Amino acid sequence: MVLLKKIKILSLSLTITFFLITPLAFYFSKVSFEKGSVLEIKKGDSLGKVINKLEHEHNFQSSFKLKIMMKILFYEDDIYVGTHKLEDVDSIKDLIFKLRSYPENEVKITILEGWNIGQIGKYLEKKLEVFSSDTFEKYCTDRKFIQNELIDKLNFFNVTSLEGYLYPDTYYVDAYLPEQELIKIFIKEFLEKTLSFRKKMDQTTMIVASIIEAETDLIAEMDTISSVYNNRISIKMRLESDPTVLYYMTEKDLKKFKNRRTPSERKISAQIWREYKSKKNPYNTYKFFLPPGPINSPRIEAIEAAINPAETNYLYMVMSSKHGKHIFSEDYESHNMKIRGY
């Protein structure tokens, strides 16, 4: 009886030892890959699919060990999409770490001043590997994501849309980076760039900054344009800004509106403009006082101009193709004269 008990204890000890030591042996077991070896993991690839690729593309002989360790560690669903370099991997431990890390597939992206969320999304979808513009746009208006990831963690503004806050700049990012991680990068850059005057900023500031950005590329006239809109706001006068109307035009109509080479095309363009200008859209500043939010991503100079407008009494402006800049007026009569003159 005593002998049987000892045998059971020994058997249990051996079993426990096996289940403790074997995983450790698997985890630190050696593997090797040829120089220049890479593993491309696509969106939706399962652990089984990844192991199958390793076997067929790299003659991988440790599939069982990798599979067991990934399951024991609950990592089987924690695999990062991208092209992973394998030449520096020399153990199962290294391989697991590699599969669970963002791959180094750096690409250069440039977000231009004046782009809106839709334009940014379409551009990134062309530049990045697994990027979805629809998913990107969804996160940009996802209140839960904005609250949990941006407001709570980054001390971001309390907004319901990220339009206007995706900072326009050149970035070097992973080609396989998820949409929400890219958004965080853009928002962090925005917060860093506006740090010195963030206390002076609010939603109205960003609305005006985005309109300034849409109105001109000339930094020298931004503060004067800002004075026009800030003067209107101070007396509760509608902004009557053309760019806010263009913002809610469909892509198809916007293309027709901008195409004015022939008399018939100019007629169609005018019809489209009258149609959209008459719509009761919240962004129509000919009918409503302020739009609900910014209309694009403004550069830092436009934001500074919105905060610090020039001291003028201007309420009107018209673009002069002759001078290549805006001409400003204090009253409607002078404004009309300048329109006829330019």
For 168-186, how does the pLDDT look when each residue is reduced to its tens digit (9 = 90+)? 999 988 888 889 999 999 9
| Residue 18 banded pLDDT, cuts 50, 70, 90 | very low
More confident residue, 322 or 160: 160
Element (DSSP H or E) covering residue 212:
helix 203-215
Take residue 333 and report the two structure tokens written for it. Answer: 């009569």
**214 pLDDT above the threshold of 70:** yes
260-275 burial, b at 16+ Cβ within 10 Å, e below that, comes to eeeeeeeebbeebbee
Beta strands in the chain (DSSP E): 38-41, 82-85, 106-110, 170-174, 316-320, 325-329
**163 pLDDT above the threshold of 60:** yes
Three-state secondary-structure class, residue 176: coil
Q: What is the mean pLDDT of residues 51-57?
A: 92
Q: What is the mean pLDDT of residues 100-112?
A: 86
pLDDT for 50 equals 92
pLDDT for 43 equals 77
**14 pLDDT above the threshold of 50:** no
Three-state secondary-structure class, residue 316: strand
**13 pLDDT above the threshold of 70:** no
Give the residue from 169, 147, 149 showing the smallest Cα distance to 160. Answer: 147
**69 pLDDT above the threshold of 90:** no
**21 pLDDT above the threshold of 70:** no
Give the residue carrying structure tokens 């440039």: 110
| Residue 42 banded pLDDT, cuts 50, 70, 90 | confident
Percent of the chain with pLDDT strictly greater than 90: 65
End-to-end, the C-alpha distance of the chain in Å comes to: 111
Q: How many CB atoms sit inside 10 A of residue 101's CB?
A: 11
Q: How far is CA 177 from CA 106, 182, 192, in A?
A: 10, 7, 21
Q: What is the mean pLDDT of residues 137-143?
A: 97
pLDDT for 5 equals 58
Please name every residue paired with 30 in a beta bridge, in sequence order, or none if there are none: 91
Residue type, 51: I
More confident residue, 325 or 43: 325
Q: What is the mean pLDDT of residues 264-268?
A: 93
**9 pLDDT above the threshold of 80:** no
Share the mean pLDDT of the chain: 90
Q: How far is CA 142 from CA 115, 210, 234, 254, 327, in A?
A: 20, 21, 32, 27, 41
CB contact at 8 A, 299 and 168: yes
For residue 150, the 8-state DSSP code is: I
Q: What is the mean pLDDT of residues 223-251?
A: 96
**4 pLDDT above the threshold of 60:** no
Distance CA 223, CA 209 (A): 10
Give the lowest-confidence range in 15-29, 148-162, 253-267, 279-293. 15-29
Nearby residues of 50 by Cβ (< 8 Å), 6 or more positions away: 39, 41, 79, 99
Three-state secondary-structure class, residue 164: coil
